[in-house]
Amino acid sequence: MVKPSRIFILLAVCVLAALGALVPTAPAAARRGPAAPVAAPPRDATTPLPVKIASVSQDGQELVWRLILDHPFSPGGLAHDHRSLCLLLEQVRDAAVTGEVCVVGGVGRGAGARIEYLPVTRARTGTARVITASLARTSNANLTATFLPSAVGVSYASLRWQVQNAVLSPACLPAGAAACSSLYPAKPALTPMHTPRLVGCTAAGPAFVGYGPSTRREVALTFDDGPWYDTSQFLRILEREHVPATFFEIGEQVATYGEGGAIERRMLADGDMIGDHTWSHPDVAAGGSFAATQLTETAAAIRRATGGFEPCLFRAPYGDVSPALISEARSLGFTTIQWNVDPRDWALPGTSAIYSNVVANVHPGSIVIQHDGGGDRSETLAALPLEIGALRREGYRFVTVTDLLGLQLVYK
């Protein structure tokens, strides 16, 4: 005998089955449940993606393009949906477009986002090329791109810009499809720019360094005990040879021989680097407050002479260091720099001896110590162009210590 409750359940199942026969069967895709969310535009195929916020600003040496859309998007999705998202670079005087900086991305695996630059002139449009840029996203509706102005044909002068959204699908090809493109802002925006000024560097990595990486054929020339009578002659040779160098300066000599800061400003303008060599060249190996005062007073003298540059490199007088000194220097923001090539030019061994010592002992990553101050430096001056010529013939590239170690430079 079947229980009444069981009869009720069977009747209910039959009724539901009968009703199901009256309803059209859903497609297989629908029966599998909702698809995974995709960062795709919510509008039709001819409507541009609405821009919520956009800005272009200068950060040191770089341009920063920030973009927020009203809806999620992906660089790969832009390509898939035949859309473009570009920053139009425009002349200040007449708003004529000089270039397009576009977000692009492939749709295949590993095809990441990138930035392309397309030069534009009144006569013709150039060929797009990928530029070096860093990309960051904090949500799927925004993007920040950072790149050098020179990568997009821009100098450090005021810049007009607009963001252009465009739909490139066949539906937008007929005449009168102006709605397929939009500009933000409606009128070009103006971004003031200035030539960036080097104001420092950032100590990082090991606190004590005697040489750089041996993986690149690079060498760093360094000069101690300046500024001095002869420092401008060293700069003249380096400028003529287009060689950057690193100068470790004695603080009390900056006001006396720095020509009111002209020497230090000239160094930075040439691409040279300035380091701290204490205030009066004493032995500071013990570290502590005495060493700290020697370093901070010299850093202040360099800052005054240059109009704001903060050094991050320190070299101990005589090369006398200790864990205490290295730790003290790092706490003040310095990397302590030693050397691995020393021609002992201070002892006046002769031009030929200085030259031969340097050329024979340089290896990839070497840091060479010589002197531009503290005495007669005529032999070093005579040897310097010979060293440069010989090392160049051996395939070496000259860099500052900060470049050799990959330390970050700070610009304003």
Q: How far apart are CA 350 and CA 25, in angstroms?
A: 98
CA distance 371 to 272: 15
**Are 282 and 317 within 8 A, CB to CB?**
yes
User: What average pLDDT does this structure show over 320-348?
Assistant: 99
Q: pLDDT digits over 22-63, tens only?
A: 333 444 333 344 444 444 444 566 788 899 999 999 999 999
Distance CA(289)–CA(324), nearest Å, equals 11
Of the given ranges (168-177, 193-202, 290-299, 380-389), which has the lowest mean pLDDT? 168-177
- Distance (Å, whole) CA 149 – CA 355: 40
Which residue among 224, 230, 276, 403 is the active-site one?
224
pLDDT at residue 54, rounded to an integer: 98
Q: Please give the mean pLDDT across all residues of the chain.
A: 89
Q: d(Cα 248, Cα 312) in Å, to the nearest integer?
A: 11
Helices and strands, number each (H, E), in the chain: 11, 20
Cβ atoms within 10 Å of 337's Cβ, excluding its own = 28
User: 32 or 399: whose pLDDT is higher?
Assistant: 399
Secondary structure, 3-state, 119-143: EECCCCECCCEECCCEEECCCCCEE
Tokens 């102006």 — which residue? 178
Q: What is the mean pLDDT of residues 8-32?
A: 37
pLDDT, residue 180, reads 86
DSSP state of 317: G
Q: Environment class of residue 175 by beta-carbon count within 10 Å: exposed (0-12), middle (13-18) or buried (19+)? A: exposed
Name the nearest CA neighbour of 172 among 285, 105, 82.
82
Q: What is the pLDDT of residues 170-224, one digit of tens each?
A: 777 654 456 788 999 999 999 999 999 999 999 999 999 999 999 999 999 999 9
For 114-134, write each residue's pLDDT tens digit: 999 999 988 777 899 999 999
Q: Which residues pair with residue 184 across a beta bridge? A: 163
What's residue 63's pLDDT?
98
Contact in structure between 276 and 330 (CB atoms under 8 Å): no
pLDDT digits (tens, 9 = 90+) for 215-255: 999 999 999 999 999 999 999 999 999 999 999 999 999 99
Catalytic residue among 272, 277, 281, 371: 371
Active site residue 277: no
Domains of the chain in start order, with CATH, are: 51-191 (no CATH), 198-411 (3.20.20.370)
pLDDT in tens, 343-376: 999 999 999 999 999 999 999 999 999 999 999 9
What mean pLDDT is predicted for residues 96-104?
Answer: 95
> φ, ψ for residue 307 (rounded to 5)?
80, 25
pLDDT attached to residue 242 = 98
Give residue for tokens 């860099």.
399
Give the pLDDT score at 173: 64
Decide if 363 is catalytic. no
DSSP 160-185: EEEEEEEE-SGGG-STT-GGGEEEEE
Is pLDDT of 296 > 60? yes
